[in-house]
Structure 1
Amino acid sequence: MIYNFQYRLNLTTEQKLVLNDWLRICQYWYNRQLGERFDWWEQNRNYIDRCALLCHLPELKNKPEFYEQKKQLPIIKQDLVSVGWSGELLDFNVVPSQTLQEVCKRVELSFKRYLAGDSNGKRSGKPRFKNTARFRSMIFEGAKLNSCSVGGKWLYLSLPKIGIINVRHHRPLPDGAVLKQTQVIKKSDGWYINLRLQDDSVLKDTASHIPDQRSPASPAFARRGTGDFKPNIAPSWNNSLGMDAVLHEDDYLAVSEGFKLPSLKSFRKSQNKLAKISKRKSFKKKGSKSRRKLAQREAKLHQQIARARKDHAYNTAHALLKTGKKVFFHEKLYHRWIKSKRIKS
């Protein structure tokens, strides 16, 4: 089983500067690959239903795919890369090679979803060029990652080319979990890290403790203290629970047992404050220090709204699962209501 744990980083000033430089290099590398794909696609495609009056005469070159673009990295690392519009000099040697290869993979996946679609045939929109605010994460993977916990309060990770970083260990790691990949994310209130863990013992324990339907319940449940746990419960009037959305008043969910769950309305409560900050920011000069400060306040407010929604969703799910009953709802109907303007925020 593979799952992710997110922790907050406590970085030094030097480490923050290094990660910001790496993000800038990865952002440039992402936009450069995306531009090459768009140029090749525009210059080498032809319309099937008409003849174009104007056509390109491009230089013959291979289609820029994942392996073709990844081969450019050794050549780019031979010298500093000059950014045309800003005059920056970027050194690709300071960034771990696997991190740059993950950027190539990210471009490949986004462009593939745009052209071919996912497994269900649903196509995504045209990939965007990333600015500083949109490109916020980097992936590190490899055998050089190791972890140790000191005192249970802090977790120390060793990342390539940056050394030991300090992680706020608010949630203990499961025993037997193996660290496979790390993702460093820059948010409005600081730096975070996602630890991708693999634990094969979870599936083995689950399979060994599921009772056989043709025999009585396995005694393994009694040893683990799970009580009368039954994974396959036949629904009845006594152990079933129905819920439906409420589109009026201050409630957003009604349960068949006769009570309603209140609506959070995190966005509507912060809407006026958010509008004032956004209006003040729009009058400031682009690139100024005052505009960056207001943009930071706006981003933190959006983050508070998102976190409040996430916490409210978990609390609601916990309240429903705490009843120990089977829950029924209209799945297809909710998918339609999500796109509606009547959904409460």
Structure 2
Amino acid sequence: MITLNYTYRIYPDAEQVELLNEWLETCRGVYNYALRELKDWISSRKCPIDRCSLESEYIISVDRPFPGYQQQQNNLPKAKKNFPKLKTVPSQVLQTTIRRLHDAWDFFRNRGYGFPRFKKYGQMKSILFPQFKVNPLTGWQIKLPKLGEVQINLHRPIPDGFVVKQVRVVKKAVGWFAVISIQSNISIPDAVPHGHFIGVDVGLNSYLATSDGFVEPGRKFFKDMHRRLKVLQRRLSKKQRRDPAPPKGAPCSSARQKRSKNYEKARLKVERLHNHIAFKRKDYQYKLAHKLCDMAETIFLEDIDFRTMARGFLGKHTVDAGFGQFRDILYYVAKQRGVYVAEVDHRGTSQTCPNCRIEVRKELSDRWHSCPECKYHLDRDIASAQEICNRGYEQLSTQGLWGKEIGCQVGLSGAFSLDKWRRAAMSNSDVGSLHHNL
């Protein structure tokens, strides 16, 4: 069974936009109310049994169970009697909102961090329609429960044999989008190592380098638009956040806006620019992933935790590059195109000579690899990519047979010739002075 997500632009009319915004705010209220129940129950169990808190105390019966997903979901029909506004939202949308909270809670319990937080006004950006009895797509329209038919730009048709399982409606500053999840019973076998092998090294100086000598120049999407973003954020900081209070004696409207109109206009400009930066980065990464799949049928990457890199003094540039997103995109594109992608150990790839495999220490400022043993000279990033490819070979081949002519090394040698693998098994004195030019 295979599941894919297709994203389309939708164009709801004014009434549908107003209804969607109301649904988002209603779901936000449901999310926050359920989270309040969960936090109150936890706080009532924090106090030691032999003493009380000096500030406040949550008193909840000992027999009251933990407000889990099933319990809070079953409370929704009762809540609709007290809050008729909940009836305007599809019931399954409210249920998925509760599910969303408990997914975040389960993540916190498993990982130990990331406790769910209350969502402020406007922070709920998507709702999920989890089930459809019939295909909601009719030509250039999509039919959603209690919303009706919405215009959709179906630029990519749904493949034959796939059925629509669920639809997520996402609100962004540039417009509304529908993420359609489609599913089919067909099974696609996983790709196996074959064809041309390459290693890929990512970095900030050059976005990536391959073992074949291809170097992709670095792209800084956020930095390129940072000057314009500073101007928009400076204008936003000077806007009045809330509407002025009505004069004395004037009737006070309960439907007072949360933010002033000028503040909201300035905030939308900032959000649109952030969306533009994210779209440019993702489009570039998809094109680059297809380019790598054109170069080789087997690709090796480093198993780096880029969240650790983002904590360093180059964290801003690391986040801007989006290496983790690029790795996920490469896996997705490679699976569609039948390209095998695997990860290897990243430790010491830039400190190892790819030709004779000895350790060659280099500082971060040293951008050129020069081996004192085998006299192998080339760019540091390309040398690191070749070492990644070497480790990929070792990972696939039989352990302990390094240097022997096994089938994987001979038949699928890729960019490296068999002579190189023979030289790797020889001593440094036998290799002699060897200089490679790419």
**Bin for the TM-score computed over the shorter chain:** 0.7 to 0.9
Superposed CA deviations along residues 284-332 of structure 1, whole A, max 9, x for unmatched, are 1102211111110100100111111111111211111101242223223
1:124 deviates by 3.3
* Partner-residue secondary structure (3-state), 2:8: strand
The runs of 5 or more residues in structure 1 that have no matched partner are 81-89, 211-230
Cα separation, 1, equivalents of 2:33 and 2:239: 30
TM-score (norm: length of structure 2): 0.63
Number of aligned positions between the proteins: 296
Cα separation, 2, equivalents of 1:283 and 1:13: 30
Instruction: Pick the aligned partner of 1:244 from 186, 198, 201.
Output: 201
Superposed CA deviations along residues 177-211 of structure 1, whole A, max 9, x for unmatched, are 1111111111111111111111112x0xx35xx9x
Kept in 2, the 8 Å contact 1:157–1:165? The answer is: yes
Alignment of 1:279 with 2:234, yes or no, is yes
Give the partner amino acid of 2:144: L
Alignment of 1:14 with 2:15, yes or no, is yes
Cα separation, 2, equivalents of 1:63 and 1:42: 12
Aligned-residue sequence identity (percent) comes to: 30
Kept in 1, the 8 Å contact 2:136–2:144? The answer is: no
What's the Cα RMSD here?
Answer: 2.3
Tell me the residue number matched to 1:305: 277
Cα separation, 1, equivalents of 2:220 and 2:25: 36
1:254 deviates by 1.9
1:45 deviates by 2.6
Kept in 1, the 8 Å contact 2:135–2:163? The answer is: no
Residues 261, 67 of structure 1: CA spacing in aligned structure 2 closer, same or farther, 3 A cutoff?
Answer: same
Residues 58, 148 of structure 1: CA spacing in aligned structure 2 closer, same or farther, 3 A cutoff?
Answer: closer
1:172 deviates by 0.9
Cα separation, 2, equivalents of 1:289 and 1:100: 30
* Partner-residue secondary structure (3-state), 2:304: helix
Kept in 2, the 8 Å contact 1:285–1:291? The answer is: yes
Kept in 1, the 8 Å contact 2:104–2:116? The answer is: yes
Deviates more, 1:326-335 or 1:270-279: 326-335
The runs of 5 or more residues in structure 2 that have no matched partner are 242-258, 321-438
Cα separation, 2, equivalents of 1:319 and 1:124: 37
Kept in 2, the 8 Å contact 1:144–1:160? The answer is: no
1:6 deviates by 0.9
Residues 145, 191 of structure 1: CA spacing in aligned structure 2 closer, same or farther, 3 A cutoff?
Answer: farther
1:7 deviates by 0.7
Superposed CA deviations along residues 127-158 of structure 1, whole A, max 9, x for unmatched, are 111123321111113344533443xxx2x222
Tell me the residue number matched to 1:129: 118
Alignment of 1:323 with 2:323, yes or no, is no
Residues 252, 17 of structure 1: CA spacing in aligned structure 2 closer, same or farther, 3 A cutoff?
Answer: same
Deviates more, 1:179-188 or 1:54-63: 54-63
Alignment of 1:69 with 2:72, yes or no, is yes
Superposed CA deviations along residues 37-93 of structure 1, whole A, max 9, x for unmatched, are 111111223459x9655473614233211122122212221143xxxxxxxxx6111
Residues 333, 192 of structure 1: CA spacing in aligned structure 2 closer, same or farther, 3 A cutoff?
Answer: closer
Tell me the residue number matched to 2:164: 179
Cα separation, 2, equivalents of 1:289 and 1:182: 31
Kept in 2, the 8 Å contact 1:6–1:194? The answer is: yes
Residues 297, 103 of structure 1: CA spacing in aligned structure 2 closer, same or farther, 3 A cutoff?
Answer: same
Instruction: Pick the aligned partner of 1:233 from 156, 173, 193.
Output: 193
Residues 112, 276 of structure 1: CA spacing in aligned structure 2 closer, same or farther, 3 A cutoff?
Answer: same
1:338 deviates by 4.4
TM-score (norm: length of structure 1): 0.79
1:280 deviates by 1.1
Give the partner amino acid of 2:302: H
Give the partner amino acid of 1:285: Q
